[in-house]
A and B are shown apart, each in its own frame.
Chain A
Amino acid sequence: MLALYDLAAGPLFALALAVFLVGMAWRVVRFLLLARAADPAALRGFRPAWALKSILHWLLPANITARENAAATAAGFVFHLGVLLPALFLQAHVILWDQAWGLSWRPLPDAAADGLAWAGVAAGLFLAWRRIGLAHVRALTGPQDWLVLGLTLLPLLTGLAAYRQWGDYDTLIALHVLSADILLIAAPFTKLAHVTLFFVSRAVTGSDFGKRSVGAW
């Protein structure tokens, strides 16, 4: 199991991170190339100020859906924060970054990271319930929606299990790192590509809204 950990946290992680970064950048570049190929004038009317406004209103819960659908919005935000903040700021993760690249930043207290991760799991379960319990969401849901939700929850669950040593620590920590590698590799090729495409999509629509002066919503 230690061999698996060394592989997953070493070369495989480096590969996963490279696939993630290059893949995510490629998704954005590909959009721009396709848009320009279809219409060289398409980018000329772009309104950066409106695009930015649109991104900010939706990066924060300052929009019409946050007001009218507070539960789903809260679940969405908690889910994202529960995944991202422990991933970047858990003390054990910060130490790994430091060891690998000599980059270091202020970690979250373990208890806070732990709480965030649990909240993330709870929010993920709520989002899963929406896909089962709400008829209109159920009708839209396909296999990939379950796949990406599962892929995102796996590092959280294995991380929590390893931290608490529910079972063999060496196995759990190897699975934890492996599941994170898989998540990073899958991201550019699935709906997880919204990591960067969210910004592209909101910029496109924000700019369009700007042309009509209808607000960022």
Chain B
Amino acid sequence: MPLDIPTLKKALDSRNGARMRLWLDICAHCGLCAQGCHFYQSDPRPEHVPAYRLKPMAELLRRKGEVDEAFMQWLVDTVYGTCTMCQRCSMFCPYGISIAFMVRATRALAVSQGLTPPGLASGLQNALDAGNNLGITDEEYRETVEWQLEELQAEMPEAVAPIDKKGAEVLVTFHPRDIKFYPQNLYNYLKLYNAAGLDFTLTGGMGWDSTNIGLFAGDDPAAAELAGRMIAAGENLGVRTVLSAE
């Protein structure tokens, strides 16, 4: 697929803000960030040094967005393939440079060209379509909660797991993985909240997936949409706190 250079330039401009310039300008290339990186510690290749992940962005700015498809492939491989944005490298950087921040900004450039890696793109599409990144249907979600609540009630008869209870104190959200693959985790969460006497509610439909794949992928409009659904769910129910899982 050919690149859309005008869109790339626009995305580049929008990402070249205060922090980006500050950190690209001062990174001393000392390599001390390598100590904090699980990629580098597992496989000490130069491309696994966190500061290396700034190269695609620095090079794009130098070339003012005039790059080819091979360059963008290198960018994708670097900022999606060698970084989980865990931020551990920032602990070791004498300047405290947030490489994760810059990796996310660089991912947005790939997003602008439709180059989000397929696995991430399908999870994001699931989240936008179904309300969670694993594409769990509302029916499956409610059945899983009901099932785990029944199990829990064998041990804790008064346990509850209200869905969309107006005026509850706390809205609890989940990682979809805990619903689909590890319902035992859901059991444990419910047990904990009940034992703590928390006035909580779950929510059906959209807004219970606490992961934000849009944020992770570097797709800001999608990230805002997903976060907005959770905020809307909380506001509709009138809760005071949204409890995020993960």
Which A residue sits closest to B17, measured CB to CB? Answer: A38
**Which of B73-81, B94-102, B196-204 contacts the other chain?**
B94-102
**Which of A5-13, A62-70, A106-114, A158-166 contacts the other chain?**
A62-70
A202 with B32: CB separation less than 8 A: no
A contacts with B: majority SS: helix
Q: How far is the CB of A211 from chain B (nearest CB, A)?
A: 12
A136 with B40: CB separation less than 8 A: yes
A137 with B31: CB separation less than 8 A: yes
A58 with B49: CB separation less than 8 A: no
A201 with B30: CB separation less than 8 A: no
Report if B10 contacts A (CB, 8 A): no
B32 with A140: CB separation less than 8 A: no
**Which of A86-94, A176-184, A190-198 contacts the other chain?**
A190-198
In the assembly, what is the distance between CA of A42 and CA of B41, in Å?
34
Q: How far is the CB of A36 from chain B (nearest CB, A)?
A: 8
- Which B residues from 1 to 59 make CB contacts under 8 A with A? 17-19, 21-23, 25-32, 34-35, 40, 44, 46-49, 51-52
B31 with A205: CB separation less than 8 A: no
B30 with A136: CB separation less than 8 A: no
B26 with A34: CB separation less than 8 A: no
Residues of B within 8 A of A72 (CB): 30, 32
- Residue in B22, B27, B40, B48 whose Cβ sees the most chain A Cβ within 10 Å: B22
Size category of the B interface is 20 to 34
A202 with B95: CB separation less than 8 A: yes
A35 with B95: CB separation less than 8 A: no
B96 with A201: CB separation less than 8 A: yes
In the assembly, what is the distance between CA of A135 and CA of B18, in Å?
31
Interface string of A131-144 (1 = CB under 8 A from B): 10011111111100
Known: A38-B17, A198-B95, A206-B96. Is A69-B26 also a contact (CB below 8 A)? no
Give residues in A with beta carbon < 8 Å to B.
Answer: 31-32, 34-35, 37-38, 42, 54, 58, 63-65, 68-69, 72, 76, 130-131, 134-142, 145, 191, 193-194, 197-198, 200-202, 204-206, 208-209, 217
Give residues in B with beta carbon < 8 Å to A.
Answer: 17-19, 21-23, 25-32, 34-35, 40, 44, 46-49, 51-52, 90-98
